Amino acid sequence: MDTSGLPVLDERIAGCRACPRLVAWREEVARTKRAAFADWTYWGRPVPGFGPPDARLLIVGLAPAAHGGNRTGRMFTGDRSGDVLYEALYDVGLASQPTAVTADDGLELYGVRVTSPVHCAPLANKPTPEERDTCRPWLVQELRLLRPTLRAVVVLGGFGWQAALPALAEAGWSVPRPRPAFGHGTRVPLDGLDLFGCFHVSQRNTFTGRLTPAMLREVLRTAADVAGLPARSSPGGRGPVR
C-alpha cells in the first residue's frame, strides 16, 4: 500500500472495488438516487477520511450513509448523523461551521480528522464482518500516517470499536488483552494515545435521547483536552479556538 501520505491514501481508497456487494449497492444508490436529490450527481464511490493530515484527534464512525457521504463524497456530510456530529464539533470549537452540506461548503476541522472502518455505504447500514475486515488495511494505514501527531481517538458505536481495536494494534499501539469492552464514556490509555467510546450519532440514538448533544460534547471536549486541542466549555462562538 502506498505510504506517501494521506492525500495518496485517500485517492486509493476512493478507487477501491474490493467488496462486490458494497460496490453494487453504492453504485445502485447513486443511479436510482432519492427523490429529494434527483438533480444531484452522486459520488457513488468509497468515501475517504476528512480532516488535516496532522490531526491530533481522530473520530471513527461506522460507514458512509447511502444518501449522505455516498452522495456528497465526504464523511458525515449531508445526513442527520453528520448534522449532529459537526454541530457538536463546532460547539466545542473544533470546526469552522456547524453544518456539513456538500464537499465544497468550506467546512474546516481544527486538529480533527473523521474516518470510518468501512468506506462504502452498506445495505441497511450493516457491513458484514468480512467487509469490515477487508476494509481494515485502509484504517491501519491511516492510523500509521497519523501516528506522529495523533493523541486521542473517539470511536462512535460498538461496530467502530470492534474495528478500531485490531486496527490500532496492527498500526503499532499496544492494545490490552482481553480487549476492553465498548461503552459510552469508556476511556482506554494506550501508548501515548487515549481511546474513547461514545454512542454513535445515529438517529436511533439521538432521537431517543440515548445520546444527547451534551453527552457528545462532553466526550469531544475530554478527548480534545487529551489531544492538546483547546475546546470551548459551552456552545457558541465563531472560528477556531487556539
pLDDT digits 0-9 by tens, 228-242: 998 887 675 444 443
C-alpha cell at 201: 450519532
Tell me how far apart the alpha carbons of residues 39 and 167 are, in angstroms, rounded to a whole number: 38
Residue type for 183, please? G
Model confidence, pTM: 0.94
Computed over every residue of the chain, the mean pLDDT equals 94
C-alpha cell at 122: 452498506
Cis omega (within 30 of 0) for bond into 127 = no
Candidates 194, 175, 198; CA nearest to 185 is 198
Using CA atoms, how far residue 157 sits from 14, 74, 106, 136, 225, in Å, is 24, 20, 28, 17, 21
The strand pair at 193-198 and 187-190 is best described as: antiparallel
Owner of C-alpha cell 453544518: 99
pLDDT at 9 over 90: yes
CA-CA-CA-CA torsion sign (168, 181, 13, 152): negative
pLDDT of residue 233: 75
C-alpha cell at 119: 468506506
Tell me how far apart the alpha carbons of residues 129 and 114 are, in angstroms, rounded to a whole number: 21
Mean pLDDT of 127-140: 97
Tell me how far apart the alpha carbons of residues 221 and 45 are, in angstroms, rounded to a whole number: 32
pLDDT of residue 83: 97
pLDDT at 200 over 70: yes
Helix/strand/coil (H/E/C) assignment for every residue in the chain = CCCCCHHHHHHHHHCCCCCHHHHHHHHHHHHHCCHHHCCCCCCCCCCCCECCCCCCEEEECCCCCCCCHHHHCCCCCCCHHHHHHHHHHHHCCCECCCCCCCCCCCCCECCEEEECCCCCCCHHHCCCHHHHHHHHHHHHHHHHHHCCCCCEEEEECHHHHHHHHHHHHHCCCCCCCCCCCCCCCCEEEECCEEEEEECCCCHHHHHHCCCCHHHHHHHHHHHHHHHCCCCCCCCCCCCCCC
Mean pLDDT of 149-175: 97
Residue type for 88, please? A
**What's the pLDDT tens digit per position in 82-95?**
999 999 999 999 99
Mean pLDDT of 196-207: 97
Tell me how far apart the alpha carbons of residues 137 and 19 are, in angstroms, rounded to a whole number: 13
- Percent of the chain clearing pLDDT 70 (strictly above): 95
Residue 31: CB partners within 8 Å, gap ≥ 6?
A: 42, 44
